[in-house]
Amino acid sequence: MATAKTQDEPKATGPLKIRVAGVERVFDIDNPVLPDWVENNALTSDRYPYDKKLKMEDYEKTLELLQTELVKLQAWQHSSGNRVLILFEGRDAAGKGGTIGAMRYYMNPRTARNVALTKPTETERGQWYYQRYVAHFPTAGEFVTFDRSWYNRAGVEPVMGFCTPEQHKQFLKETPRFEKMIVSEGIRFFKVWLNLGQEMQLKRFHDRRHSPLTNWKFSPMDIAGITRWDDYTRMRDLMLKETHSGHAPWTVVRSNDKRRARIEVIRHVLRALDYTGRDLDAIGKPDPKIVGEGPKLMLG
């Protein structure tokens, strides 16, 4: 739930006063030393149920099985014409891009596309709000992921004042009807919210800020995310309440551990689609501690 990043060099911000887990803290993103209170609590923040990441060898073994199934899924789409559309939402640094990358790694890029739109042009701002997203919907046989979507209007836009309260209210009212049209059209539609703990977000931002390879990802919007955590939380909770529906449910995935999150997202999609040659034993069963439907999994 954020706008596109720019590739400008990150600028110094100075120490920020923030509230974390009910405690007033000072966090200096420009200090190369990560505070102990972030490092020690990152993985278990937001009551994450595991105190260790999934072992790399277990992750790689499971991921390979799931990626093999995704190749089968794509072959089935080619022969059947079925269309798949998956929205990925979550706070900045929740792991949307990495999850999409793991999902699409062995899929044929000709028919497995990712959509990551920049801010609207002047022309797009004058159009029906959903119009620029619909233009990227899958045609027959396509597998399309959205790295952020029309749900910008449920998060970053109201928090940052990029839309009016009336536009936000109208969005929450109209979106379930819009998504009903998508499903009625026959598109296999998924909405994924990657849930991230506050200390883990701070750690990932800090890693970005001080990495010569990924500092381009860090932007002023990320600073806004740090200082407006509670505002984003309120918008997230309202979004899930108003747009979770029987025809277009939200799947919430705890993403403090990126490895577990990627596995559970892919597993969820594969279990939902009855494609030719599907191997449920290879796919495995979902971890209810990590993945759930809608607001039920949300604890903070």
CATH code: domain of residue 253: 3.40.50.300
Percent of the chain whose pLDDT exceeds 90? 88
In a domain, 78, yes or no: yes
Residue 201's Cβ-side half-sphere holds a number of Cα atoms within 13 Å equal to 23
Residue 282 has pLDDT above 70, yes or no: yes
In a domain, 251, yes or no: yes
Q: What is the pLDDT of residue 3?
A: 44
Give the end-to-end CA distance of the chain in Å, rounded to a whole number.
17
Residue 268 has pLDDT above 90, yes or no: yes
Degrees, nearest 5: CA angle 46-51-55? 125
In a domain, 3, yes or no: no
For β-strands 112-115 and 188-195, DSSP reports them as: unpaired
In a domain, 11, yes or no: no
Report field, pTM of the whole predicted structure over 0.85? yes
Q: What is the pLDDT of residue 216?
A: 87
Q: Tell me: the pLDDT tens digits for 115-151?
A: 999 999 999 999 999 999 999 999 999 999 999 999 9
In a domain, 283, yes or no: yes
The DSSP bridge partners found for residue 195 are 254
In a domain, 75, yes or no: yes
**CA-to-CA separations, 78 to 97, 136, 159, 166, in angstroms, rounded:** 25, 18, 41, 42
Select from 234, 123, 147, 142 the least CA-distant residue to 187.
142
Helix (H, G, I), strand (E, B) or coil at 125: helix
Residues 6+ apart with CB under 8 A from 60: none
Select from 106, 102, 110 the least CA-distant residue to 266.
102
Residues 6+ apart with CB under 8 A from 123: none
Side chain identity at residue 213, one-letter code: L
Domain range for residue 107? 16-297
Q: Tell me: the pLDDT tens digits for 172-191?
A: 999 999 999 999 999 999 99
In a domain, 233, yes or no: yes
R_g over Cα of the chain:
19
Band of residue 7 on the pLDDT scale cut at 50, 70, 90: very low
Helix (H, G, I), strand (E, B) or coil at 105: coil
**Count of domains observed in the chain:** 1
Average confidence (pLDDT) over 30-54: 97
The beta-strand segments (E) located in 1-71 are 16-20, 23-27
Residue 223 has pLDDT above 90, yes or no: no
Percent of the chain whose pLDDT exceeds 70? 94
Cα–Cα distance, 267 to 65 (Å, whole number): 10
- Please give the backbone phi and psi of residue 279, each rounded to the nearest 5 degrees, phi first: -110, 100
Q: What is the pLDDT of residue 219?
A: 83
Q: What is the pLDDT of residue 11?
A: 55
Q: What is the pLDDT of residue 297?
A: 67
- Please give the backbone phi and psi of residue 89, each rounded to the nearest 5 degrees, phi first: -130, 165
Q: By the 8 A CB rule, do 98 and 299 touch?
A: no
Residues 6+ apart with CB under 8 A from 267: 66, 283, 284, 286, 291
Q: What is the pLDDT of residue 298?
A: 62
